[in-house]
């Protein structure tokens, strides 16, 4: 299982770092794993992010900083936020992830500060035919990379009821790609978080003590790096994992839903929201593959091939673990045809 490691005096996470600059969004996606349809409006303070990133950059260096939300283009001082964090030297590559609906209003200063623009495409979201040409024009003009990802399906993440089964919580956590593979670490108001759900679950599930303890205070101290490395590589589930099904939630078609509908769909126990087949697959092997994301049109065939490969792998593992060993049977001799019998009879007469 990939882990954060010490290299050249810095903690290097397994993948990327998430810079969440806004919680609110201009769409209301079912099963959004940042809970944007339900949480309160919030925009990151540039001064606060600069302070926290300046300390973090002394000890922690992600390969990529992903700027996202909610919808990041709703932040009125987005260029100021990116400039503040980039000036700390925490990473060399900044990727802005947006649904593109507000791309026509985006300040050119934002394009100058990022290295990559990623457009997330969701069914039912309008104006995408206008977004693609504009995104290509902007990235060509500023010499930036452009990525386009389609999300036809989402997986369930949050449950306001949770589960009392500690063994199930452990299994979900061990299979969770947010915690172990995709490197979705983040910062917020002076604290470092292991994953976005641990930021939002205390807002979604009220009155449960200990849920706000799944974080570590960012501090420029002698022992901070050691404590941070121990925190991100900790083998035990977070308290919030009781109210989260990680990346093994039931898959369902993407849809835009109301706030009340979004809340209603979380009011089920963990056991009813889990895709048990995907849980078993993720327990066998973890990689960067995201079965909800389609990068290009030609990637659809590869997407289907990978899921088919997972099914074969699960069947093989199931046979090994659930069936008793039996010695291989000898292959029965092939039955001779009538012509072969006549040939052998003719040979024996001479």
Q: Quickly state the pLDDT bin for 288 (edges 50, 70, 90).
A: low
Average of per-residue pLDDT values in the chain: 87
pLDDT, tens only, 233-254: 999 999 999 999 999 999 999 9
Q: By residue range, what is the domain housing residue 113?
A: 5-153+181-237
| Pair of tokens at residue 93 | 């590559």
Are the beta carbons of 103 and 132 closer than 8 angstroms?
no
Q: Quickly state the pLDDT bin for 333 (edges 50, 70, 90).
A: low
Q: Quickly state the pLDDT bin for 329 (edges 50, 70, 90).
A: very low
Residue 90 within any structural domain of the chain: yes
Pairwise CA distance, residues 182 & 292, whole Å: 14
pLDDT of residue 337: 61
Residue 314 within any structural domain of the chain: no
Report whether pLDDT(207) > 60. Answer: yes
pLDDT of residue 2: 66
What value does the mean pLDDT take over residues 115-134?
86
pLDDT of residue 66: 97
Supply angle C-alpha 99, 255, 71, rounded to 5: 25
* Edge-to-edge strand ranges of the sheet holding 94-98: 145-150, 116-121, 94-98, 64-68, 16-20, 185-188, 191-193, 216-217
Residue 135 within any structural domain of the chain: yes
pLDDT of residue 1: 59
Cross-strand bridge partners of residue 60: 11
Is the torsion defined by CA of 90, 85, 115, 4 positive or negative? positive
Q: What percent of the chain has pLDDT over 90?
A: 68
The three-class DSSP label of residue 242 is: helix
Cross-strand bridge partners of residue 13: none
pLDDT of residue 11: 97
Residue 125 makes CB contacts below 8 A (sequence gap 6+) with 27, 99, 101, 256
Greatest mean pLDDT range, 186-195, 290-299, 341-350:
186-195
Check residue 202 and report its DSSP letter: H
Q: Quickly state the pLDDT bin for 325 (edges 50, 70, 90).
A: very low
Q: Which residue has the higher pLDDT, 320 or 205?
A: 205
End-to-end CA distance of the chain: 70
Q: How many domains does the chain divide into? A: 1
The helix (H) or strand (E) run that includes residue 167 is helix 166-175
Residue 254 within any structural domain of the chain: no
pLDDT of residue 349: 47
Q: Quickly state the pLDDT bin for 89 (edges 50, 70, 90).
A: very high
Residue 67 within any structural domain of the chain: yes
What value does the mean pLDDT take over residues 29-40?
92
Among 12-26, 94-108, 276-290, whose mean pLDDT is lowest?
A: 276-290
Pairwise CA distance, residues 42 & 74, whole Å: 10
Q: What is the reported pTM? A: 0.82
Residue 258 within any structural domain of the chain: no
Among 50-64, 184-198, 336-350, whose mean pLDDT is lowest?
A: 336-350
pLDDT of residue 336: 58
Residue 54 within any structural domain of the chain: yes
Are the beta carbons of 147 and 118 closer than 8 angstroms?
yes
Burial category of 203 from C-beta neighbours within 10 Å (exposed 0-12, middle 13-18, buried 19 and up):
middle
CATH number of the domain at 147, please. 3.20.20.70
Residue 230 within any structural domain of the chain: yes
């Amino acid at each position: 299982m990939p882990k954060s490691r010490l290299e050249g005096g810095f903690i290097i996470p397994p993948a990327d770092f998430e810079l969440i600059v806004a919680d609110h969004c201009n769409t209301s996606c079912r099963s959004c794993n940042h809970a944007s349809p339900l949480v309160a409006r919030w925009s990151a303070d540039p001064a606060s992010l600069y302070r926290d990133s300046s300390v973090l950059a002394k000890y922690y260096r992600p390969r990529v900083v992903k700027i996202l939300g909610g919808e990041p283009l709703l932040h009125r001082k987005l260029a100021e936020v990116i400039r503040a964090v980039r000036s700390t030297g925490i990473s060399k590559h900044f990727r802005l992830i947006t649904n593109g609906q507000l791309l026509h209003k985006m300040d050119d200063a934002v394009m100058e500060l990022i290295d990559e623009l990623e457009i997330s495409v969701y069914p039912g979201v309008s104006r995408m035919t206008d977004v693609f040409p504009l995104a290509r024009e902007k990235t060509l003009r500023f010499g930036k990379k452009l990525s386009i990802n389609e999300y036809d399906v989402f997986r369930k993440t949050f449950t306001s009821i949770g589960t009392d089964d500690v063994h199930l919580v452990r299994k979900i956590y061990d299979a969770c790609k947010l915690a172990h593979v995709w490197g979705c670490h983040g910062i917020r108001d002076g604290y470092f978080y292991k994953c976005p759900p641990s930021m939002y679950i205390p807002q979604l599930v009220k009155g449960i003590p200990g849920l706000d303890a799944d974080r570590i205070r960012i501090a420029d101290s002698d022992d901070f790096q050691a404590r941070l490395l121990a925190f991100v590589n900790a083998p035990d589930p977070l308290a919030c994992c009781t109210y989260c099904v990680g990346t093994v939630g039931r898959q369902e078609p993407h849809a835009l839903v109301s706030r009340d509908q979004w809340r209603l769909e979380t009011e089920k126990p963990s056991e009813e929201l889990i895709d048990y087949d995907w849980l078993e697959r993720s327990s066998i092997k973890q990689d960067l593959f995201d079965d909800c994301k389609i990068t290009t049109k030609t990637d659809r065939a590869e997407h289907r091939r990978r899921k088919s490969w997972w099914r074969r792998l699960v069947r093989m593992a199931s046979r090994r673990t659930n069936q008793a060993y039996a010695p291989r049977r000898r292959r029965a001799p092939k039955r001779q045809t009538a012509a072969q019998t006549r040939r052998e009879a003719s040979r024996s007469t001479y």
